[in-house]
Structure 1
Amino acid sequence: MDQLLALKVFVRIAETNAFSRAADAMNVPRPTVTKLIQDLEHHLGVRLLQRTTRKVSVTADGSAYYERAKRLIAELEDMDQLASGARSQLRGRLRVDVGSVLANRILIPALGHFRDLYPDLQLELGVSDRPADLIGEGVDCAIRGGEMPDSSMVARHLAHLEWVTCASSAYIAARGIPEHPDDLLSVTGEGQGGRHTISGYFSSLTGRAFSLEFNRHGERVAVKPGDGTSFNESTAHVNALLHGLGVGQTFRFAVAPFLGDGSLVEILPDWSRPAHTIRLVYPSNRQLSAKIRAFADWAVAVFAPFDSRPRVDGE
């Protein structure tokens, strides 16, 4: 029995609650996964996993073994990377999940540099605005925005991203320029000077539509999307704004070229929305991984030019 491989397989099954997910994530045949667990349990003389036709769960003995096993694997990976010396020796798989507009506008254009630094590292970039289950889906780390409700995750600050409210030049020509956020509270209208349409964004996880937020000198206005179009993918949302489907709020960096060439027009510039905090997050049991540390250091440098305000100590 390859005990180290068996340990890795067991940890992945414990985290995903499925033999098939562990096999797919590790690129190991399902029969091999089953045999490794059987051999490991026979070697230890205890049952680590409770299997039924519907699910797999960790036994009490398995839970204690899992905590020790995951720490050991993390330490072994770090030892290997330290012993290998040069950073170019980083090897293996690194799965990173990131939202669409962040991937397409920031990360992917810079990935050539990362590949030059770590040519032997297999990077898998999961691009979606749906928040991934890092443990359940075998994701090593993710780039996420907003609050951090999950205390089991470690976070590293990447940037504060500035918002902009905008619409296409064609839309503005047809509908006029809103003078106050209240002008956006009405629903779809037609013709010159007609009522405005919101091109909104909704959560792919909850289905909840996000309001447009406006702040000025203590006054706050929130505008909910009405009968216009809404999207749950950030790149599609930018594309919708470009094609005149309404007024929307998005990250300034994502539309800067289009604001520069006049395709999009900034509206209500005297009103602001609090900056959106972007972080690299990963499960606390993976914080010793040299691969994650290398990606985090690189990502901090890549996002630095997009940071709209100084960091707060501890971020």
Structure 2
Amino acid sequence: MPEPISSFPPSTMVGQMVWGSDAEGSFEPPPPRMPAQRSAAALAAATSQLLEALVAKRVPRVEALRRKLHQHRPGGLGEIEHAANALHAEMEALDFLAGRSGGEQAAGFGRHGAVVIAAAERMAGVSRVLVERHAVDSPVARLLWIELVLESDSLRKRVRQGAHWLAQMNRDLGHRRTAVTAEISQRALDELARRGTTLHQRLHTVHRLCGHARSIHALCERMAEQRNHLCATLQDKVLPAAAQLQQSLQPLLEAVGYRPLVPEELMTAIEARHEMQVCLTQVAAHVVQLQAGDEELAAQLVQMEEKAASLA
């Protein structure tokens, strides 16, 4: 529970209320500053009006952007993870030595090789879909992040203005307490101080809302970079590796139907499998990073929603 505003010395009050410096990039001018000689009551009224305006107009804008960000959270990781795990498992189970044995073992190699080719095709398909979706969705999401941080910067400037007004109010209350002796006047000052404490708490909630917005922006930027790496891996490594795996396996499946395979013709397929395994390991690392970031983003969005709801 924060201390009443009246309990802070003027210099401490300024330190308590100024939570951060103005961020660059906001195109809106800050609200006009009130003259320093305004009374505590006038300063409290001005801060209250400022808060009402923030809660009525600007906080809903930030909340609307939060909802849009939630709706535009990138997907596709589950499909990539499932396809990669399935392909990895099928490749691990593929026994190349069975292709040299002839008979039923060779037929089993042929059937399993066809399953591996199908799994590689699925991996290539979901990779193309995710890469294409990222190319379309990424610019839209980035515009939302920029708009969110600009709105939060505008809020922060107004919060700082309200904080300075409350600091002036605290100084005025301190001067008045030394001058009044009547009990009724003292009670009026106490009530005004309690009102200042409530205003302080609400301003701090708005400030924390801005903090969440900036954290979300930074997290989204980091996740976008990670997703760029994932898409580059899919585009530049997984798709060529999938094509090479299919091209190296297909002739073996045709040949094993009428003769045992020889070691020399197996080597290309074995190398292609190894290359794909390396690619899938890289994909798995990217997916783990992005899944962790997505969980953090979901938590941040929920906390931001809670802060906005508490101001309503």
User: Above 0.5 in TM-score?
Assistant: no
Structure whose residues are more often strand by fraction: 1
Higher relative contact order (CA 8 A, sep 6+): 2
Structure whose residues are more often helix by fraction: 2
